[in-house]
Amino acid sequence: MAHPKRKISKQRRDKRRSHQSLSPAPIAICGVTGEAHMWHRAYWSEGKLYYKGKVVLEKEVVEE
């Protein structure tokens, strides 16, 4: 394996890492339900699963 000839200073190391920070996840507001959700993700609202403003799945309620 390759080994560095000299120690990398903290300043040089931190300058290199300054661009690696994470950005917050993009949030969208649904026009149908008004619910906040992540882009390109299905989300639950009032017992229904929505994707692109359309109902994909409804939660079944079993009464006994």
**Model confidence over 25-59: pLDDT tens digits?**
899 999 999 999 999 999 999 889 999 989 999 98
Tell me, yes or no, if the pTM score tops 0.75: no
Per-residue pLDDT for 4 more than 80? yes
Can you give the pLDDT at residue 1?
81
Q: Residue 8 has what DSSP assignment?
A: P
CB of 30 within 8 A of CB of 38? Answer: no
Can you give the pLDDT at residue 54?
92
The arrangement of strands across the sheet holding 43-45 comes to: 43-45, 48-51, 54-58
Nearest to 44 by CA among 28, 29, 56: 56
Per-residue pLDDT for 7 more than 80? yes
CA 63 – CA 32 distance, rounded (Å): 29
Can you give the pLDDT at residue 37?
94
